[in-house]
Amino acid sequence: MKALVFEKSGLESLELREVPNPSVGDTDVRIAVKMASVNPVDIMSVESLKVYPIPHIPGSEFFGVVEEVGKKVSHVSPGDRVAVYTRLFDGTCRSCLRGDQTYCKAGKRIGVESQGGYAEEIVVPGTNVVRSDLPDEILASLPIAMLTPYHALKSAGVSSSDVVVVVGASGNTGMFAVQLGKLLGATVIAISAKPWVKELGADYVLDYQEAEEAVREITFGDMASVVVNSLGGKYWDLSLRLLGNHGRLVTFGSLTGGNVNLNINDIYLKHASIIGTNRGSMGDLMELLKIAGKLQVRTWKVFPLEQGRFAMEQFKSSDRKGRIFIRIN
Ligand SMILES: [Zn+2]
């Protein structure tokens, strides 16, 4: 089969190669990958993360159609479209038994610590797939871009009484944080420099310069009850300034830097909480499947697998207006 493969870190080493088809064990499924997306973790996996095995196939977010199932798999059959939970878990450790597959003691990220989905086929455990007839771009956005903000908003306990500010609302996760916040009934304020963010249905769309004053005005001085900051350091101070009393600042990424200054007074005087979250569980994915059909995916460009390296290079383009997908079969 064809796959994007690299042996040495760096996008320039990524190339399309013919590699052996993966074999299917009794509890596995073989999937013909239909569509994969490009996420920050994919760029990091090629550029800097310690990956396994080598030569390595990146691709941590994708969906496909089942081609073959192992002897012990009965919940899906060849021909089924499936959403894929892209973290491997054993199902038996104490974290898994609590339903917290993200922290499986033997867990691995597909596309980082095991072969990913930028390939014509992938084999994953049957326990990682769920049948779904949702559209392509939605299934190809579920495992990371939708699951991460869904879990983050849940962890922050977002409800209809909240004012949720999403910093970086045009981002891979930001665009879904905005829409999921609305689905949970909250008032949503999107902060972004990109005009197309208005299409996502936020109650207010603000640019960075005006954000603090505008949020003060919109909330009659209360400020936000929840701030979602997936971008990290660059917007940390702004995020804290936007947060009202009893506010919850939820963070799950550090694209613009992971080291920040923190004055403890800003936290306790506001009775604030800082919540770190990390993707989501299989249970979150199951919940998300029920509502994901209501989410719109802002797609910028779709490339064939042959142009996978170019697709990844384009991720850093300042012109990017939405998601980048790789169409495979
Ligand atoms: Zn486990």
Q: Do 92 and 193 lie in a common domain? A: no
- What is the DSSP secondary-structure string of 5-27? EBSSSSGGG-EEEE-PPPPP-TT
| In-domain check, residue 290 | no
Q: How far is the CA of 27 from the centre of ligand 1 (A)?
A: 16
Do 203 and 303 fall into the same domain? no
- Is the peptide bond prior to 55 cis by the omega test (within 30 degrees of 0)? yes
Q: Are residues 248 and 154 in the same domain?
A: yes
Q: Which residues surround ligand 1, an ion (CB under 5 A)?
A: 89-90, 93, 96, 104
Q: Residue 173: inside a domain, yes or no?
A: yes
pLDDT in tens, 19-48: 999 999 999 999 999 999 999 999 999 999
Residue 135 in any domain: the answer is: yes
Instruction: Give the distance (Å) from ligand 1 centre to CA of residue 108.
Output: 10
Residue 104 has pLDDT above 90, yes or no: yes
Per-residue model confidence (pLDDT) at position 204: 98
Instruction: Give a yes or no: residue 285 inside a domain.
Output: no
Q: Is the pLDDT of residue 259 over 90?
A: yes
Instruction: Report the separation in Å between the CA atom of 282 and the middle of ligand 1, taken as the mean of its atom positions.
Output: 12
CA 63–ligand 1 middle distance (angstroms): 23
Q: Compute the distance from residue 3 Cα to the ligand 1 centre, in Å.
A: 29
Query: Is the backbone of residue 322 left (phi > 0), alpha (psi -120 to 50) or beta?
Result: left
Same-domain status, 137 and 156: no
Nearest to 200, CA basis, from 321, 39, 68, 50:
321
72 in a structural domain? yes
Residue 283 lies in a domain: no
Residues 134 and 7 in one domain: yes
Distance in Å, CA 201 to ligand 1 centroid: 38
Is residue 233 pLDDT above 90, yes or no? yes
The dihedrals phi and psi of 79, each to the nearest 5 degrees, come to: 100, -15
The CATH number of the domain where 193 resides is what? 3.90.180.10
Tell me the mean pLDDT in the region 270-298.
98
Domain shared by 244 and 308, yes or no? no
Task: Give me ligand 1 centre to Cα 245, in Å.
Answer: 37
pLDDT value for 61: 98
Domain span at residue 64 reads 2-141+297-327
111 shares a domain with 32: yes
Mean pLDDT of all residues in 116-131: 98
Same domain, 169 and 128: no
Task: Identify whether residues 132 and 154 lie together within a single domain.
Answer: no
Count of domains for the chain: 2
On whether both 132 and 83 belong to a single domain, the answer is yes
> Which DSSP symbol is given to 128?
G
Residue 53 lies in a domain: yes
Tens digits of residue pLDDT in 283-295: 999 999 999 999 9
Q: What is the predicted pLDDT for the residue at 95?
A: 98
- The whole-angstrom separation of Cα 40 and Cα 29 is 27
Q: Are residues 10 and 134 in the same domain?
A: yes
Q: What is the largest CA-CA distance in the chain?
A: 61
- At residue 329, the pLDDT reads 81
Are residues 302 and 256 both part of a single domain? Answer: no
Q: Residue 72 C-alpha to ligand 1 middle, in angstroms?
A: 20
Q: How far is the CA of 115 from the centre of ligand 1 (A)?
A: 19
Query: Over 90: is that where the pLDDT of 171 sits?
Result: yes
